[in-house]
Homo-oligomer: A and B are copies of this chain.
Amino acid sequence: MGNTFGQLFRVTTFGESHGGGIGVVIDGCPPRIEISETEIQRDLDRRRPGQSKLTTQRREEDRCEILSGLFEGKTLGTPIGILVRNKDARPEDYREIARKFRPSHADYTYEAKYGIRNWQGGGRASARETIGRVAAGAVAKKILSALYADFELVAYVTQVHEVAANVDRSSVKMSDVEKSIVRCPDPAVAKEMIALIEKVRKSGDSVGGVIECVVRGIAPGLGAPVFDKLEADMAKAMLSIPAAKAFEIGSGFGATRMLGSQHNDPFETRAGKIRTATNNSGGVQGGISNGEQIYFRVAFKPPATIALEQKTVTASSEQTKLAARGRHDPCVLPRAVPIVEAMAALVLCDHALRQNAVQL
């Protein structure tokens, strides 16, 4: 259990980092949506390793094959199966971790949960699993674009370690983000971030940061009042991304230091529409979208895999030491940007269909 996401637009992923491949089945996709392998590949390429000097040099083309659910370039309404083969397997890189638990990885917890694990590269805990999410997210974005004329979804790196960007949330575009390999739309700060990540890599260490995501053009009315609040489903989506440690929507933790009179978003009429003058709510009130820009932030920890030697224990509880060999990302944020986008799109697409269902 736990490998399916969504109520109506249902995404089920499968696959380990080593083995036949990684895939996804999308059930509940509306029919007659135009989508192609090329469009899906575009997002997969933004996620794949080896795309820049900042990422792991593991060489994976991550070429996707659509197995089902399409006919003559359009969705059939039937499940869309997508497969990406694993290629660059070097199990010899992983012999050591077959018996040593890597600190802050999932090795020990998998062993505790399942009594068995595929120790070749992290198995199911590998970030390769997110390939399926990104592929499904590409489909979700097409649906959202079909539903909302002004739909825009932009995620970007706002902070790496102590280096923080200055981004105008209301105007930032994906093209601004894609200009730098670190996916930060503030050009000067992007350079600093890149330099920092390279320095951290050379030192054998790793570093975390923050991704912000903004969504524009979503109609009021998406979400649900109680458990499936839009921000609740978004929080789950984001915390389900590997290495995510925190989520805040709108004012977030900052809200705790404001008075109600400062935090409330007064309603006003603009261009004939009911709007809010400020947007501390982050586009969601009472769990339901209010038509304003939705925005939130996700905190990522530094990757657990580092080249520096660390203390740990073996599967038989003996004290030992471990230093990662081979290829790894010193900072996951640039590659996590399309994953954040994808998960946000999955949540919104699911809620859009849910809202559609009860419009008689």
Contact = CB atoms under 8 A, between A and B. Distances in A.
Given A143-B360, A301-B263, A302-B263, A257 B161 contact: yes
A262 B116 CA distance: 29
Contacts of A2: 27, 224-229, 354
12 contacts: A3-B224, A12-B79, A23-B67, A25-B25, A67-B83, A76-B116, A245-B256, A246-B248, A251-B301, A261-B308, A269-B317, A357-B357
A34 to B, nearest CB: 11
A289 to B, nearest CB: 7
Interface in A278-322: 280-282, 284-291, 299-306, 308, 310-313, 317-319
Given A32-B115, A286-B125, A245 B240 contact: no
Interface in A7-44: 7-8, 10, 12-16, 19-23, 25, 27-32
Nearest to A308: B261
Given A12-B4, A239-B235, A302 B25 contact: no
A242 B223 CA distance: 14
A49 interface: no
Interface stretch (A50-58, A170-178, A180-188, A207-215): A207-215
Contact of A110 (B280, B286, B310, B313): B286
A245 B238 contact: no
B236 A245 contact: no
A109 B306 contact: no
Interface residues of A, number: 159
Interface in A87-110: 101, 103-106, 108-110
A195 B276 CA distance: 32
Given A20-B66, A83-B83, A267-B313, A259 B31 contact: no
Contact of A21 (B68, B106, B248, B289): B68
B256 A208 contact: yes
Copies in the complex: 4
A162 interface: yes
B235 A277 contact: no
Given A1-B10, A146-B360, A268-B313, 19 more contacts: A2-B229, A14-B67, A15-B68, A23-B25, A23-B81, A109-B221, A113-B355, A206-B259, A210-B256, A246-B248, A246-B252, A247-B247, A251-B301, A253-B299, A260-B304, A261-B306, A272-B317, A274-B317, A356-B358
A79 B112 contact: no
A146 B30 CA distance: 23
A280 B123 CA distance: 23
| Most chain B CB within a 10 A radius of its CB, from A20, A66, A207, A219 | A20
B1 A265 contact: no
B255 A302 contact: yes
Nearest to A158: B256
Interface string A67-85: 1111100111111110100
